[in-house]
Amino acid sequence: MSIAPTGGGREAVTDAANGVAAHVGRRTVASGFLFGCGIAASMIDLFVFHLGLQWHHFYDLSTPEVALAADGVFHAVGWFITVWGLFLLADVRRRGDVAWRRWTGAVVTGVGAFQLFDGVINHKVLGIHQIRYHVDLLPYDAAWIGTAALLLLVGIIILWRTRPARAAR
């Protein structure tokens, strides 16, 4: 890593170091985003809606046995994504300090993005399951999709506010 003088007693890291920092920054965001998606799938969806409330399964268009098997595959993938995010986080920590506020923004973005995808694509477009059955879906959909959009927006704002400053060239 080389340092170039910028005048006034300050120094700027050259492009090689900026490239490494940008790589670590991207990995920080990817780690948080994957962790957020995995937590939304595995913790929120599994524990709250599938097990706790028993409102739906991942795939409700077949028999209960198929629904449970689909839940198992879905949640295995959710946990894989969660662990993948944690491995990326461990790699970022190994390379240096973690920008925790930025990582947290990425987690919130991941939760919001997953929930929005689930609410719009799985619930409405594909119709493979609904939030709940035998009720007026409008309030449930509005709460699900509205909360997801709000979380996504909050996460993006946090990411925007914690973006690294550009180095002087």
Q: What is the pLDDT of residues 152-165, one digit of tens each?
A: 999 999 999 999 87
Helices 15-39 and 64-95 cross at an angle (nearest 10°) of 150
pTM here is: 0.81
Distance between CA atoms of residues 103 and 62, nearest Å: 39
Residues near 107 by Cβ (< 8 Å), separated by ≥ 6? 32, 33, 35, 36, 39, 155
- Sorted by where each begins, the domain ranges of the chain are 14-161
37-82, pLDDT tens digit by residue?
999 998 888 888 877 887 887 887 888 888 889 888 989 999 999 9
The span from the CA of 128 to the CA of 58, in Å, is: 7
